[in-house]
Structure 1
């Protein structure tokens, strides 16, 4: 039950981070948002070392750095897919891949949730697809490139979850420190190679920092959940984050949910109940 609560809270916090990140990208370049938010997360993890202490280990740092590289590349590919494709296709493709990959890997590793929990997993995967759907998809043919990029980005996000699950218990925050350090270096190198500015747009810095802090807080919750529960369950619960992003957009920005998204939110709540009951 503790793992379910932590993973569900993780989804809420991830969704909040995405909400702030979405606001920030309206005012600043994508690489600027990613770089500053990742650096803010790196600074946020430092005070957590005495609160969640652990022994330093090369394995924890290595798994974390590998996760950070996958996460940073996934974000970059995801934004590129959104720029060149239809969001109503790109977003659910990414979300579904990020949820499905850890489920398949967890089952392959021998995890065996109860039948009720597996029904919750199936319901959660459907909920992820529905809440990620956008109105106004438009007609016409969808280019193959953005769909492939969306799939790749989803696999990258899923790999992030899988790699953090491999972190040895008792290593504290060293894995997340490694993840953020690797992602900051990678994004900085990418910006330098592309000659892109990392200066945030006017008035966007507080929003970008908030996105980074919430994202790191969600990573902490996921790490704690993964240490207490099965990858199959905690990863699919964490992947329900689009539901909380939608709810924030609804009540903060006044955006309207379409019928499919509303059904997806309802299914997400049902999925959490089934997984908790299983």
Structure 2
């Protein structure tokens, strides 16, 4: 994982340099996202689950993800009350802390990191915990703190649309192929391998395009909290919850690493739409994404 996260950092910086040089623009970011969501990530998810040695304990992985989310929510909400923050800033801090970038960052990183982790567990965590929380809990919190007059809400249509995205269809298809005992030939697997391998570099280039460092210094208090909790304490919480659920080995390691992922990029999109402080959210995405390339290898060394 150390080599993979270092490579990810280099690609992030390459994306930032490409934007500075005018080779790529921030406006190119949505295209990269569409390529990942509709082509590379579904291929990666399908191949992981089609090849996986499925185990009943995988069903506990999304339970762990939901429990970790609840613990982080309580911690962040309590901190904002103690500090007496105004609601848009509080909501931004809570959203930045409670959900990690397990799809665009975590899943391809786990897939590229070799032994010691369960790729199938990473898919289950992202699809059945983070994926659902993004369009339920995150939306409700953002609307509650950003648009106070409307009250918290969940966009049911967006939940349905997110469940219909290609990575989720790939999850179902991969499970079906696996449970049916179908063994894919090398020729059949190769296109999925090539597409899936493109997920990590494309998402890291996207992260580089989105990086904006201006104004971070005045947010040092909020960003320090997010970094300490999201990249540090979340892993400890994840470890405790995984142990309580009886998880062990590669599955436990994966839950801990997924818990310690940087702030989800979708938190910025949703938070901006609902009126949260975008400077806090954007700063959290930038700082945690960059620092995660250092903290995740450290957690791996402790786990393995």
Common fold, TM-score beyond 0.5? Answer: no
TM normalised by structure 2 equals: 0.28
Q: Specify which structure has the bigger relative contact order, considering alpha-carbon pairs within 8 angstroms and separated by 6 or more residues.
A: 1
TM normalised by structure 1 equals: 0.30
